[in-house]
Amino acid sequence: MVGLEQTATAAADKNKTDLEMATCPRCLGALTENHRCPRGPLSRVRDAIPTVLLGSLLGIVVCFAIEERPSSALLVAASALGAVLANAIRQAAGPKV
Ligand SMILES: [Zn+2]
């Protein structure tokens, strides 16, 4: 009896292991039992910050290129648009994380 139970448990463990050998949707590493993503949950936000900053800077530069004396509201809008666009491009071009 004990042997049968152990076999069943082993089979269940094997199924579980097979299931968990899928790749992690976040870090694309093998999903082992003790898998931990090498990058924390905040890393995606941290990665996006330079892109967003660069995008908003680009938006401001473009705004100054078009308008000689842009109003502050226009600058804010251009900066926000640049940030959003840069982030969208980053998400489209970067790896699907
Ligand atoms: Zn992971």
Residues flanking ion ligand 1, Cβ below 5 Å:
24, 26-27, 37
Q: What is the pLDDT of residues 28-75, one digit of tens each?
A: 778 888 887 776 667 777 888 999 999 999 999 999 999 999 999 999
Q: Which parts of the chain are beta strand (E)?
A: none
Q: What is the pLDDT of residues 17-39, one digit of tens each?
A: 555 467 888 777 788 888 877 76
CA of 32 to the centre of ligand 1 (A): 9
CA of 23 to the centre of ligand 1 (A): 8
Q: What share of the chain is helix, strand, coil (3-state, %, to 5)?
A: 65, 0, 30
CA of 35 to the centre of ligand 1 (A): 7
Q: What's the whole-model pTM score?
A: 0.55
CA of 49 to the centre of ligand 1 (A): 21
CA of 18 to the centre of ligand 1 (A): 16
Residue 30 pairs in a beta bridge with: 23
Report CA 62 to chain centroid distance, whole Å: 27
Whose CA is closest to 89, among 54, 65, 57, 61? Answer: 54
